[in-house]
Structure 1
Amino acid sequence: MTGDFTARVTALLMPHLILAPIALPMLTAGLMLLLREERQRTKVAMNVVSTFLGLVVAVLLLVQAKQPGVQTSLGVYLPGNWPAPFGIVLALDRLSAMMLVLASTVALATVLFSAARWHKAGVHFHPLFQFQLMGLSGAFLTADLFNLFVFFEIMLAASYGLLLHGSGRPRVAAGLHYIAINLAASSLFLIGVSMLYGITGTLNMADLARGIAGIDPSDRGLLHAGAGILAVAFLIKAAVWPLNFWLVPAYSAATAPVGALFALMTKVGVYSILRLWTLMFSSGAGDSAQFGSQWIVGAGLVTMCFGALGMLGSQRLGHLAGYAAILSSGTLLAALGFGQNLLTAGLLYYLLGSTLAVSAMFLLTDLIERWRNDGASLAPHEQTDDAPFLAADLVHTQGLNLDEKEEVLIGQVIPAAVAFLGLAFLACTLVIAGLPPLPGFVGKFAMIHALLNPLGLGSSGGFVLGSGGWALLALMVGTGLLALIALTRAGIRHFWASHDRAAPKLLVLEGLPIALLLTGCALLAWQAGAVMRYTQATADALHAPGTYVQAVMSARPVPNSPGTAPGANGRPQ
Structure 2
Amino acid sequence: MSTAGSSPVTDWLDHLIILPILVPLAVAAMLIPINERERMLKGAIGFASTLVVFVVAVILMRFAAAGPDSLPGTGVYQLGNWPAPFGIVLVLDRLSALMLCLASGLALAAQVYSMARWHTAGHHFHSLFQLLVAGLNGAFLTGDLFNLFVFFEMMLAASYGLLLHGSGPVRVKAGLHYIAVNLAASALFLIGVSLIYGATGTLNMADLATKIAGLAPDSRRLVESGAAVLGVAFLVKAGMWPLSFWLPTAYAAATPPVAAVFAVLTKVGIYVIIRLHLLLFGAAAGTSSGFGQDWLIVGGMLTIAFGGIGVLASQAMGRLAGYSVLVSSGTLLAALGLGHQAMLAGALFYLVSSTLTIAAFFLLIELVERGRDAGADVLAVTMEAYGDFDEDEKEEEVGAAIPGTMAILGLCFCLSAVLLSGLPPLSGFIAKFALLRGLFAMPGSDLATAMSAADWTYVALLILSGLSAMIAMNRIGIRTFWASIEGTIPRVVVIEITPVVVLLAACIFLSLEAGPAMRYMQATADDLFQPIVHSERVLSAPRAGGR
Aligned: 1:238 with 2:221:
no
Aligned-residue offset at 1:545: 1.7
User: What does 1:163-562 correspond to in 2, within 5 Å?
Assistant: 163-373=163-373, 416-455=404-443, 465-559=451-545
Say which SS state the counterpart of residue 76 (structure 1) adopts. Answer: strand
- Where does structure 1 differ by over 6 angstroms across 4 or more consecutive aligned residues? none
Q: 1:20 — aligned with what?
A: 19
Whether the aligned pair in 1 keeps the contact of 2:297 and 2:337 (CA below 8 Å) is: yes
User: Cα deviations across residues 369-392 of structure 1 (Å, max 9, x unaligned)?
Assistant: 11213899xxxxxxxxxxxxxxxx
Aligned: 1:39 with 2:38:
yes
Aligned-residue offset at 1:465: 2.2
Q: 1:445 to 1:73 in 2, by over 3 A?
A: closer
If you compute each CA radius of gyration, which structure gives the higher value, 1 or 2? 1
Aligned-residue offset at 1:130: 0.3
- Partners of 1:65 and 1:227 lie apart in 2 by 28
Q: 1:64 — aligned with what?
A: 63
Compute the TM-score of the two structures, normalised by the length of structure 1: 0.87
- Partners of 1:336 and 1:167 lie apart in 2 by 39
- Partners of 2:346 and 2:184 lie apart in 1 by 32
Whether the aligned pair in 1 keeps the contact of 2:274 and 2:336 (CA below 8 Å) is: yes
Q: Identical aligned pairs, as a percentage?
A: 53
User: Cα deviations across residues 124-164 of structure 1 (Å, max 9, x unaligned)?
Assistant: 00000000000000000001000000000000000000000
Aligned-residue offset at 1:415: 6.5
Aligned-residue offset at 1:34: 2.4
Aligned: 1:48 with 2:36:
no
Aligned-residue offset at 1:498: 1.8
Whether the aligned pair in 1 keeps the contact of 2:237 and 2:265 (CA below 8 Å) is: yes
Q: 1:302 to 1:64 in 2, by over 3 A?
A: same
Compute the TM-score of the two structures, normalised by the length of structure 2: 0.91
User: Where do 5+ consecutive residues of structure 1 fail to align?
Assistant: 1-7, 377-413, 458-462, 561-572
- Partners of 2:55 and 2:542 lie apart in 1 by 29
- Partners of 1:153 and 1:500 lie apart in 2 by 45
Whether the aligned pair in 2 keeps the contact of 1:106 and 1:260 (CA below 8 Å) is: yes
- Partners of 1:142 and 1:241 lie apart in 2 by 27
Aligned-residue offset at 1:313: 0.5
Letter in 2 for 1:442: I
Whether the aligned pair in 1 keeps the contact of 2:284 and 2:532 (CA below 8 Å) is: no
Whether the aligned pair in 2 keeps the contact of 1:375 and 1:500 (CA below 8 Å) is: no
Q: 1:374 to 1:503 in 2, by over 3 A?
A: farther
- Partners of 2:71 and 2:204 lie apart in 1 by 16
Aligned: 1:92 with 2:92:
yes
Whether the aligned pair in 1 keeps the contact of 2:74 and 2:538 (CA below 8 Å) is: no
- Partners of 1:559 and 1:346 lie apart in 2 by 40
Letter in 2 for 1:524: L
Bigger mean CA deviation after superposition, 60-69 or 498-507: 498-507
Say which SS state the counterpart of residue 166 (structure 2) adopts. Answer: coil
Q: 1:401 — aligned with what?
A: none
Whether the aligned pair in 2 keeps the contact of 1:196 and 1:203 (CA below 8 Å) is: yes
Q: 1:555 to 1:11 in 2, by over 3 A?
A: closer
- Partners of 1:165 and 1:158 lie apart in 2 by 10
Bigger mean CA deviation after superposition, 497-506 or 56-65: 497-506
Aligned-residue offset at 1:337: 1.0
Letter in 2 for 1:84: A
User: Where do 5+ consecutive residues of structure 2 fail to align?
Assistant: 1-6, 377-401
Bigger mean CA deviation after superposition, 419-428 or 56-65: 419-428
User: Cα deviations across residues 233-270 of structure 1 (Å, max 9, x unaligned)?
Assistant: 01000001011111111111111110111001110000
Whether the aligned pair in 1 keeps the contact of 2:63 and 2:71 (CA below 8 Å) is: no
Aligned-residue offset at 1:558: 2.5
Alpha-carbon RMSD across the aligned residues, in angstroms, is: 2.0
Whether the aligned pair in 2 keeps the contact of 1:275 and 1:542 (CA below 8 Å) is: yes
- Partners of 2:218 and 2:355 lie apart in 1 by 42
Q: 2:386 — aligned with what?
A: none
Say which SS state the counterpart of residue 80 (structure 1) adopts. Answer: helix
- Partners of 1:480 and 1:11 lie apart in 2 by 44
User: Cα deviations across residues 404-451 of structure 1 (Å, max 9, x unaligned)?
Assistant: xxxxxxxxxx97211111111111111111111111110100111111
Q: 2:79 — aligned with what?
A: 79
Q: 1:51 to 1:209 in 2, by over 3 A?
A: same
Whether the aligned pair in 2 keeps the contact of 1:71 and 1:548 (CA below 8 Å) is: no
Aligned-residue offset at 1:72: 4.4
**Count of residue pairs brought into register by the alignment:** 512
Say which SS state the counterpart of residue 556 (structure 1) adopts. Answer: coil
Aligned-residue offset at 1:280: 0.2
Aligned-residue offset at 1:181: 0.4
Aligned-residue offset at 1:544: 1.3
Q: 2:397 — aligned with what?
A: none
- Partners of 2:107 and 2:371 lie apart in 1 by 24
- Partners of 1:375 and 1:220 lie apart in 2 by 58
Q: 1:203 to 1:221 in 2, by over 3 A?
A: same
Whether the aligned pair in 1 keeps the contact of 2:74 and 2:537 (CA below 8 Å) is: no
Aligned-residue offset at 1:327: 0.6
Whether the aligned pair in 2 keeps the contact of 1:90 and 1:143 (CA below 8 Å) is: yes
